[in-house]
């Protein structure tokens, strides 16, 4: 979703900067025959975005802004003219706005990203190594029966594997249930303790992509020290009231089988190392998940294995781009749809960012440009007339 927003914004900007002006040049016709007069540089007149403004510091006696036509009430033109006449005030307001924004940073809520309410909960089931499919099926049946007792559950789909299984729980639509997905998981989680011999937990659906909301990785070259540290950390985390379903991969004893081929014997029989590895994989864990056929039941699937510069002339395309982006993020900001709790803060941030950046582009950037133009003209004058001399004004 974040990539979609970024790519759409990039292309909308390209359209506004390249396609829209080109189409306007061919499709729009000029209205009126008024022509611009060429203002003298000595008069302090600058042509900014197809409009001419008299800048402060360049012939202070003439502060009148000359434009081609003034048709009715044009608020942005008036705002831009005021900003160019009061450049220091405009910059001070922009600076104050920036500082005020920084003071709001401590008020921003902090914490982990919420899983949201998507109406789908995933349950992970792990059994000890060496468990058979019959053992897995027995635990899956018990867990499914417990889950279906909750009235907000619509259906459960189970996928069974060797030593593990996954349950996909579809909840009723949000408007048909009085509890959230998180509250449902909190209700069902204690019931899993009734099933012995299995580790059952809800999978996190956070953007991080991990099955757990919080994962801590321990590494060491000393296996014994690593296991002791993992056990101690697991006990400490279990004592914290805010953590649930604390588990460690070190607590699962996984037997290892070393297959050492006889190179001479394999060469005599014409057997490659890849063939030996493939045969050993099929004999122990079976084929890869993607290559397996599935046995479809009514509620589960069982894999079958074998053991910018902008101004009045650019106002319309800029507003079109900004308003289109803001309108596109409006459903996110309003929190409409399943799982909107996760996307709503981003929608609010995008709307606020585009609103302030549009104001910056339309008002503050032209003021900064006017300062750059004045500085550029000052450099030209110094290079042409030298320091200490004032250029003659006609």
pLDDT block averages, 10 residues each, the chain of length 394: 74 76 70 43 47 50 46 75 88 90 83 71 86 87 91 90 88 87 87 86 67 78 86 86 77 68 83 81 63 62 60 69 79 74 78 82 84 84 72 55
Instruction: HSE, CB side, 13 Å, CA atoms: give it for residue 354.
Output: 23
Domain check: are 197 and 236 in the same one? no
pLDDT of residue 83: 87
Q: Is residue 46 part of a domain?
A: yes
Q: Is residue 352 part of a domain?
A: no
Structural domain count of the chain? 5
Distances (CA, A) of 114 to 107, 202, 206: 18, 14, 7
Q: Are residues 119 and 106 in the same domain?
A: no
Q: Name residue 294's beta-bridge partners.
A: 303
Token pair of 17 as six digits: 């900067």
The residue behind tokens 């889950």 is: 147
Q: In this structure, are residues 156 and 299 in contact, taking their beta carbons and an 8 Å threshold? A: yes
**Rounded to the nearest 10 degrees, what angle do helices 315-334 and 2-14 cross at?**
170
Residues 130, 199 within the same domain: yes
pTM of the model: 0.46
Residue with tokens 């479809």: 296
165, 136 contact by CB (below 8 A) = yes
Given a contact cutoff of 8 angstroms between Cβ atoms, the answer to whether 354 and 326 are in contact is yes
Q: How far apart are CA 107 and CA 110, in angstroms?
A: 9
- End-to-end Cα spacing for the chain: 60
**Which CATH number characterizes residue 201's domain?**
3.30.70.1430
pLDDT at 313 (0 to 100): 61
Indicate if 160 and 197 belong to the same structural domain.
yes
| pLDDT confidence of residue 40 | 40
* Residues spanned by the domain of 201: 113-215
Do residues 264 and 247 share a domain? Answer: no
Q: Assess whether 3 and 58 both reside in one domain.
A: no
How many of the other CB atoms lie within 10 Å of CB of 133?
Answer: 15
The answer to whether residue 358 is domain-embedded is no
- For residues 168 and 156, what is the distance between their CA atoms, to the nearest angstrom? 6
């Amino acid at each position: 979703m974040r990539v979609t927003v970024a790519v759409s914004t990039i292309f909308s900007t390209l359209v506004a900067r390249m396609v829209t002006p080109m189409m306007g040049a061919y499709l729009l016709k000029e209205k009126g025959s008024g022509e611009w007069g060429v203002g003298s540089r000595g008069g302090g007149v600058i042509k900014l975005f197809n409009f001419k403004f008299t800048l402060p510091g360049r012939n202070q006696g003439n502060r009148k802004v000359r434009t081609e036509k003034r048709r009715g009430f044009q608020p942005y033109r008036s705002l831009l003219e005021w900003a160019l006449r009061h450049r220091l005030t405009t910059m001070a307001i922009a600076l104050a706005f920036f500082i005020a924004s920084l003071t709001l940073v401590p008020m921003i809520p902090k914490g982990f990203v919420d899983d949201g309410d998507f109406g789908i909960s995933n349950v992970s089931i792990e059994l000890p190594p060496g468990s058979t499919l019959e053992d897995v099926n027995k635990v899956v049946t018990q867990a499914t029966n417990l889950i279906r007792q909750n009235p907000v559950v619509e259906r459960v789909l189970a996928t069974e594997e060797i030593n593990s299984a996954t349950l996909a729980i579809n909840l009723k639509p949000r408007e048909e249930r009085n509890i959230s997905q998180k509250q449902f998981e909190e209700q069902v989680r204690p019931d899993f303790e009734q099933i012995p011999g299995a580790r059952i937990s809800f999978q996190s659906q956070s953007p991080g992509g991990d099955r757990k909301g919080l994962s801590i990785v321990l590494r060491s070259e000393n296996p014994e020290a690593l296991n002791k540290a993992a056990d101690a950390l697991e006990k400490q985390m279990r004592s914290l009231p805010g953590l649930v379903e604390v588990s460690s991969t070190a607590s699962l004893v996984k037997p290892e089988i070393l297959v050492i081929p006889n190179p001479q014997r394999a060469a005599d029989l014409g057997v490659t190392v890849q063939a030996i590895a493939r045969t050993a994989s099929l004999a122990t864990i079976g084929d890869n998940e993607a290559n397996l056929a599935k046995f479809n039941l009514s509620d589960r699937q069982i894999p079958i294995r074998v053991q910018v510069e902008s101004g009045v002339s650019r106002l319309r395309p800029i507003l079109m781009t900004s308003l289109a982006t803001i309108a596109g993020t409006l459903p996110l900001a309003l929190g409409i749809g399943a799982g909107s709790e996760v996307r709503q803060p981003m929608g609010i941030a995008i709307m606020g960012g585009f609103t302030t950046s549009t104001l910056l582009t339309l008002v503050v950037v032209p003021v900064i440009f006017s300062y750059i133009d004045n500085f550029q003209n000052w450099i030209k004058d110094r290079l042409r007339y030298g320091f200490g001399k004032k250029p003659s004004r006609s």
